[in-house]
Amino acid sequence: MAYYNRGVQKILCEELNDAIADFNQAIRIKPNYVEAYVNRGQTKAVLGRTDEARVDFQKALELAEQQENIDAKTYVKEKLQQLSQAASKQSNKKSRRDG
């Protein structure tokens, strides 16, 4: 829990790579920590690491379903949808630019 809390504080201080490192530690200690996967995914998304963010969100969704955590499940589904929409927009922009 301490690494997770510190990771959240690092986000607030805009120390995003350090936040990811703390979430990594939280996950290492507690591999089924849904919130750590969610926050690590969000942080990676902010840094433009969308493929890695998607992996974290998918793992968080899997864990949320196993734990019957409806709130987390709903939230993560929304985040995955947002990533998909952003990727689609990027693809459309590229297609128009290349075409």
Residue among 31, 39, 41 at smallest CA distance from 63? 31
Q: What is the pLDDT of residues 10-26, one digit of tens each?
A: 999 999 999 999 999 99
Widest Cα–Cα separation across the chain: 50
Contacts 24+ apart (CB under 8 A), 28-31: 29/3
Q: What is the pLDDT of residues 22-62, one digit of tens each?
A: 999 999 999 999 999 999 999 999 999 999 999 999 999 99
On the question of pLDDT at 2 being above 90, the answer is yes
pLDDT at res. 94: 58
What domains appear along the chain, each with residue ranges and CATH number?
A: 2-98 (1.25.40.10)
